[in-house]
Amino acid sequence: MNGLPAGYTVRSATTDDIDTIAVAINTYTTRLVGEALYPPQYIRGFLTTPGFDLANSCKLVFSPSNSVAGLALVMDIQTPHVQVMGWGVVPEAEQGNGIGSALHSWIEPRSREAIAKAPDDARVFLMQNLFDQDKPGKAFLNQYGYQQTRHFWRMVTALDDTPQPPTWPEGIVVRNVDLRENLEAPSRALDEAFSDHYGHVAGDFEQKLERQRHNLKNDSNYSPDLSFVAMDGDKIAAVCTCSPQSGVDTTTGYVNSLGVLRPWRKRGLGLALLHHAFGVFKQKGKIGAALHVDAQSLTGATRLYEKAGMQVDQLSHEYQLELRPGIDLATTG
């Protein structure tokens, strides 16, 4: 890694560093948006994802006093290897010391390793996401040639004492599903539902399934009564999966995913599932609900959430650095 200040050191991360990484990431989110967003168990599950080589894909920089002065991560584990996720974090006290540039001198070439694994004619890009409040981060990515490509919202709502009951389209029956025992069918339905959403790339479904099983195994908060499938006869029409907390906020329920398959859209099913989830959140004593959404949703999801009374409370941005031009295999609209 090039350009570290004198006395600073860098090494590959190990599983013994996961708690340290979680603290560094949550310190960053707390500084920018006022809250820790990632429970340590989430960070641990993420960094032990099947196929992810922590030692080869995460670097830690230490100051002369042995405090964390920066971290960088590159994730390229999903076929067809056209989307590479990168992340660099430098504590506020260490900014201006060239550590961000040193981290990027590793992030970019590490990301370029994906090119050899991608289809010959495919576009390959490195993607990083920043909170709107991260002005230095935006300037840094612009300096290195990244282009701002998309905006994302976190939307929230307070839950009334008597949440609006769902109105189900004719023929639709909703039931709970324990994804730890019955994952494949709901997962395939969600993958199909999200195939026309921004950023979706058709990849190896079995790889996706393996990682979802890993996430469920490492999620001590998972509860089957927060996973729903809407059935039309023997066919899955929609799927909604939720968590009993939003980040580390245990008072707010979180909608992980809500997907309605194309034949059942524009019938009120998405809104009914959302109202159903809000009702279950309320039964569990939650005072609010939250989710994240593409602000320019190709399927009109933002209008659905606004109709359910949700409002934007966080804005973040996606930035891309093109590593190789070619045919874009990601859905762009």
Instruction: Round to whole Å and give the CA distance between 86 and 71.
Output: 11
pTM, full prediction: 0.94
Q: What is the pLDDT of residue 1?
A: 74
Instruction: Give the Cα separation of 56 and 75 in Å (integer).
Output: 10
Torsion of Cα atoms, 283 then 284 then 285 then 291, to 10°: -100
Topology agreement, domain 9-151+317-324 and domain 155-315: yes
Which residue's entry shows tokens 């990027």? Answer: 104
As a whole number, mean pLDDT of residues 228-254 equals 96
**CA 167/CA 260 separation, integer angstroms:** 15
70 torsion bin: left (phi>0), alpha (psi -120 to 50), beta (else): left
The domain 155-315 having CATH identifier 3.40.630.30: the answer here is yes
Reading phi first (left if > 0) and then psi (alpha if -120 to 50, else beta), residue 66 is in left
Confidence of residue 333 (pLDDT cuts 50, 70, 90): low
Find, among 237, 138, 114, 239, the residue nearest to 183 by Cα.
239
**What CATH number is given for 9-151+317-324 in this structure?**
3.40.630.30
**pLDDT tens-digit profile of 123-154?**
999 999 999 999 999 999 999 999 999 999 99
Domain residue extents for the chain: 9-151+317-324, 155-315
Above 80 in pLDDT, residue 2?
A: no
